[in-house]
Structure 1
Amino acid sequence: MQQLPFPRFLRQVLLADAAAGALMALPLLAAADALSPLLGLPAVLLRAAALLLLPVAAFVAWTGTRPFLPVRLVWCVIAVNLLWVADSAALLLSGHLAPTMWGQALVIVQAAAVALFAELEYLGLRRARRSRTEQQGQQRFA
């Protein structure tokens, strides 16, 4: 597995992503029954989303705390985030559910936040690779 020095920016983005996922999961899990009528989304869906978010958040946090940058794991985090965004769009566009205005807003806002995390993680990964390439180039000429 390719490993790079772990840039601070990418580490912070991964840890923020993990924290946001956990913070989203906790109220969904604790108050699914109360949130369901407000959001127009089934309580079982809210609980399932929360139960999926918790291990994903733990994995993202674990990835963000490695001593070296595990490139493949970061790509997995990006892929899972993009899948979450696609699933959020599918939930709204499928017509199988009829979320309220608040439910639609929640799905859209959280999908936008997850898309932003994916973009920032991609930029951080690109920056880390560029930094490594520059360091290798400087070592050749030193």
Structure 2
Amino acid sequence: MSIFASPRFLSRVMWTDAASCAATGALQLAATQPLAALTGLPAPLLAGTGLFLLVYALAAAWMARRQPTPRTLIGVVAVGNLGWALACGALLWSGRLPVTAWGAAWVLAQAVVVVVLAELQWTGLRRSRAPLQGARHAAA
């Protein structure tokens, strides 16, 4: 059995998503002003997204604990992760904020992490569904 087809794969990915969002959100809230000075990102943006990430981390942890895994919600999360990555790219590309090199690295790191998580979520959804489809066709 592939690791992607493991019954625990999606829940592990969601736990990883929850942990990364909790850590990022907590850091952005606990160190809003120093991060704003270091990154050039506005403090309200860092605080607002930090709070959002903490709330999201709770939702992701809730999904990770559910049996069966809430596949539709995880699909929505994967799309949301891609949206977050696009928003990160748009923020940097727009040039509207005086983002420092550290700020660009902070935003790009978030974009890379959420793209990887989205891909793992989609892969897990596809692979965990494939055996079920095969079983339905065999029973027919």
TM-score by length of 1: 0.90
Q: What corresponds to 2:28 in structure 1?
A: 28
* SS at structure 1 position matched to 2:69: strand
Equivalent position of 1:133 in the other structure = 133
Task: Please give the per-residue CA displacement for 1:31-52, whole angstroms capped at 9, x wherever unaligned.
Answer: 1011111111111111011011
Cα RMSD over matched residues?
Answer: 1.4
Alpha-carbon distance, 1:18 to partner: 0.7
Q: Distance between the aligned counterparts of 2:79 and 2:56, measured in 1?
A: 12
Q: Secondary structure at the match of 2:132?
A: helix
Higher strand share: 1
Deviation at 1:133, TM superposition (A): 1.3
Counterparts of 1:96-111 in structure 2 under 5 Å? 96-111=96-111
Mapped partners of 2:21, 2:84: distance in 1: 11
User: 2:118 matched to 1:123?
Assistant: no
Stretches of structure 2 lacking an aligned partner (at least 5 in a row): 1-5
Q: 1:41-77 deviations in whole A, cap 9, x for unaligned?
A: 1111110110111111111111111110222111111
Measured after TM superposition, the shift of residue 135 of structure 1 is 2.8
Match of 1:3 in 2: none
What is the match of residue 12 of structure 2? 12
| Structure 2 equivalent of residue 46 of structure 1 | 46
Q: Which whole-Å CA distance do the structure 2 matches of 1:83 and 1:46 have between them? A: 17
- Provide the residue aligned with 2:3 in structure 1: none
Aligned residue-pair number:
135
Stretches of 4+ moved more than 3 A in 1?
none
Over residues 86-134 of structure 1, what are the superposed CA-to-partner deviations in whole Å (9 max), with x where a residue is unaligned? 1101110111102100000111111101100000000000011102112
What is the aligned partner in structure 1 of residue 62 from structure 2?
A: 62
User: Within 1, Cα distance between the matches of 2:103 and 2:133?
Assistant: 45
